[in-house]
């Protein structure tokens, strides 16, 4: 068991946009035992494969500074394949991996650039962001960790033989970020069949952004972050494969309703819930039938529910 440093900050939750689209969706006659866990929309069958998938949220972010290469390296060392990250864009058009739209919480930007408040990611060049220390806020042992570019991050995930749950963060601030993200993924070799079917999911709180990604690359697995009503779920099933809600907003009946729909790839839709960092909640959502659990403390969740 890893020990959480005192410097670890609580996760910040951002709101989401419910943009509802027209259309109808098919309902699935789901056979939980038939899921393979390897293709788009594997359905409600992960429990039969050893428990929910465990996603290391921003890397192993309970134990290392979030969204850094250190955090995904630690997740790898702890035995976790799936890591989650957040993608935003610099002033000069480079995609970087950071959660907040300001650099203030997780870097030393206020000390290095004291006159640049409110220190928005989009107000700094990639070269300026590369100068920042993104680790010492979390612990002295991480002093000097940097904010990685998306390409640096993907290359490390590839080196670690991990899988990526990529979140397009606040796309309304960065027009065209969906196509640019796909371009970086393509240049890194991550849009071939092997990656697309087994190692990559793209998600967002913006339904419009998820729909754009699906339109540009219909073969990609996508996820919407939020908790649509049961009545609205069929509209999302037109352009996404997964609905990924905050754990406090769901019930077993709601999860079952998601599983009862065929998603964009014609398979039963899935539910990966967030952010679950304690054993009791992990067991609770497992009992609800979720397919995956997104967590800052993946070891705690794995110890509680198994998972893979």
CA distance 162 to 230: 33
- Cα distances from 11 to residues 57, 66, 106, 141, in angstroms, run 10, 10, 12, 21
Q: Output the CA torsion sign for 236, 43, 189, 85.
A: positive
Q: Which stretches of 59-130 are DSSP H helices?
A: 69-77, 109-112, 126-130
**Residue 267 falls in which region: left (phi positive, over 0), alpha (psi -120 to 50) or beta:** beta
Alpha-helical regions (H) of 188-278: 193-198, 207-216, 233-236, 252-259
Of 99, 214, 247, 265, the active-site residue reads 99
DSSP annotation of 261 reads B
10 Å CB burial of residue 175 (0-12, 13-18, 19+) is exposed
For 211, 214, 267, the CA distances from 21, given in Å and listed in that order, are: 9, 14, 20
Helix (H) or strand (E) holding 243: strand 242-244
d(C-alpha 236, C-alpha 18), whole Å: 10
What is the C-alpha separation between 106 and 77, in angstroms, rounded?
A: 23
The C-alpha atoms of residue 192 and residue 183 are separated, in whole angstroms, by 12
Active site residue 259: no
Active site residue 57: yes
Q: Which residues are catalytic?
A: 57, 99
């Amino acid at each position: 068991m890893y020990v959480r440093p005192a410097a670890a900050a609580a996760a910040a939750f951002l709101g989401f946009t419910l943009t509802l689209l027209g259309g109808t969706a098919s309902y699935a006659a789901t056979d939980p035992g038939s899921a393979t866990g390897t293709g788009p929309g594997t359905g409600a069958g992960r429990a039969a494969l050893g428990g929910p998938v465990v996603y290391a949220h921003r890397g192993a972010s309970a134990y290392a500074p979030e969204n850094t290469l250190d955090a995904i390296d630690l997740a790898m060392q702890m035995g976790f394949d799936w890591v989650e990250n957040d993608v935003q864009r610099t002033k000069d058009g480079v995609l970087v991996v950071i959660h907040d739209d300001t650099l203030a919480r997780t870097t030393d930007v206020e000390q290095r650039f004291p006159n640049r408040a409110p220190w928005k990611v989009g107000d700094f060049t990639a070269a300026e962001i590369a100068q920042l220390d993104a680790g010492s806020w979390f612990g002295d042992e991480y002093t000097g960790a940097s904010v990685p570019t998306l390409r640096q991050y993907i290359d490390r995930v590839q080196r670690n033989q991990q899988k990526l749950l990529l979140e397009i963060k606040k796309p309304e601030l960065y027009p065209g970020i969906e196509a640019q993200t796909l371009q970086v993924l393509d240049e890194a070799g991550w849009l071939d069949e092997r990656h697309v079917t087994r190692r990559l999911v793209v998600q967002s709180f913006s339904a419009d952004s998820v729909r754009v990604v699906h339109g540009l690359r219909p073969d990609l697995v996508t996820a919407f972050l939020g908790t649509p009503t049961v009545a609205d779920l069929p509209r999302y099933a037109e352009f996404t494969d997964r609905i990924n809600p905050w754990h406090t907003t769901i019930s077993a009946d709601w999860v079952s309703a998601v599983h009862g729909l065929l998603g964009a790839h014609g398979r039963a839709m899935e539910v990966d819930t967030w952010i679950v960092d304690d054993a009791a909640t992990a067991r609770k959502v497992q009992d609800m039938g979720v397919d995956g659990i997104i967590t800052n403390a993946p070891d705690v969740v794995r110890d509680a529910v198994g998972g893979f």
